[in-house]
Amino acid sequence: MSIRTKYSNCAIRSFFACFVLLYYCCSCSPRNDAESLRTAGEEKYSQEEYAAAISDFDRAIAMNPSNAVDYGDRAAARCAMQDYEGCISDCDVAIGLDTQFAGAYLNRGNAKYGLKDYAGASADYIKAIELNSKFFLAYYDLGRVKLFITKDYAGAVAENTRAIALNPSYWPAYYNRGSAYFHLEDYNKAVADFDKCIDLNPKSANAYNYRGAVKMQVGDYESSISDFTKALKYNPTLAIAYSNRGVSESALKMFNTAVSDETAAIKLDLSLATAYCARGVAEFNLKKYDDAIFDFSKAIELDPKLTAAYTGRASCKAAIGDETGAKLDSDTAKKLGNSMVQSVLISIPAREAKNHIGQDLIVRGIISEVFISRQTTNVYMYLDGDIKNAQFAAVWPGTSAPPISRLKGLIATTISIRGKITIEHGLPEIIVSSWAQIY
What CATH number is attached to the domain comprising 416?
A: 2.40.50.140
Is residue 210, in this structure, part of any structural domain at all?
Answer: no
Is residue 418, in this structure, part of any structural domain at all?
Answer: yes
Is residue 141, in this structure, part of any structural domain at all?
Answer: no
Is residue 432, in this structure, part of any structural domain at all?
Answer: yes
Is residue 45, in this structure, part of any structural domain at all?
Answer: yes
Q: Which amino acid is at 242?
A: Y
DSSP string, 59-109: HHHHH-TT-HHHHHHHHHHHHHTT-HHHHHHHHHHHHHH-TT-HHHHHHHH
Cα separations in angstroms, 329 against 285, 313, 364:
19, 7, 17
Q: 272-320 pLDDT, tens per residue?
A: 999 999 999 899 889 999 999 999 999 999 999 888 888 888 888 888 8
Cα separations in angstroms, 340 against 181, 197, 336, 414:
21, 32, 11, 13
Q: For CA atoms 285, 289, 291, 294, give the dihedral sign.
A: positive
Euclidean distance between CA atoms 418 and 346, whole angstroms: 9
Q: Which helix (H) or strand (E) holds 349?
A: strand 348-349
In the predicted structure, residue 342 carries a pLDDT above the cut 70: no
CA 263 centroid distance within chain: 21
Predicted pLDDT at 26: 42
Q: Which amino acid is at 269?
A: D
In this structure, are strands 348-349 and 427-437 parallel, antiparallel, or unpaired?
Answer: unpaired
Q: Percentage of residues in the chain with pLDDT exceeding 90? A: 57
- Please, are residues 290 and 278 in contact by the beta-carbon 8 Å criterion? no
Predicted pLDDT at 323: 82
Contacts of residue 335, defined as CB under 8 A and 6 or more positions apart, other chains included, come to: none
Q: 382-402 pLDDT, tens per residue?
A: 665 555 555 666 666 554 455
Q: Which helix (H) or strand (E) holds 263?
A: helix 255-268
Is residue 98, in this structure, part of any structural domain at all?
Answer: yes
Euclidean distance between CA atoms 203 and 205, whole angstroms: 6
Closest CA to 380 of 417, 426, 330: 417
Q: 122-144 pLDDT, tens per residue?
A: 999 999 999 999 999 999 999 99
What residues make up the domain containing 64?
A: 24-132
In the predicted structure, residue 427 carries a pLDDT above the cut 80: no
Considering the chain, what is the average pLDDT of its residues? 82
Q: 197-232 pLDDT, tens per residue?
A: 999 999 999 999 999 999 988 778 899 999 999 999
Among candidate residues 132, 159, 183, the one where a domain is terminated: 132
Among candidate residues 80, 113, 132, the one where a domain is terminated: 132
CATH number at 76 reads 1.25.40.10
Is residue 383, in this structure, part of any structural domain at all?
Answer: yes
Predicted pLDDT at 251: 81
Q: Which amino acid is at 362?
A: I
In the predicted structure, residue 346 carries a pLDDT above the cut 60: no
Mapping DSSP to helix (H, G, I), strand (E, B) and coil, where does residue 230 land? helix
Among candidate residues 102, 132, 162, the one where a domain is terminated: 132
In the predicted structure, residue 237 carries a pLDDT above the cut 90: yes
Predicted pLDDT at 7: 36
Q: Which amino acid is at 75?
A: A
* The total number of structural domains that make up the chain: 2
Q: What is the dihedral of CA 182, 188, 193, 195, to 10 degrees?
A: 120
Is residue 55, in this structure, part of any structural domain at all?
Answer: yes
- Please, are residues 363 and 348 in contact by the beta-carbon 8 Å criterion? yes
Predicted pLDDT at 98: 97
- Please, are residues 273 and 303 in contact by the beta-carbon 8 Å criterion? yes
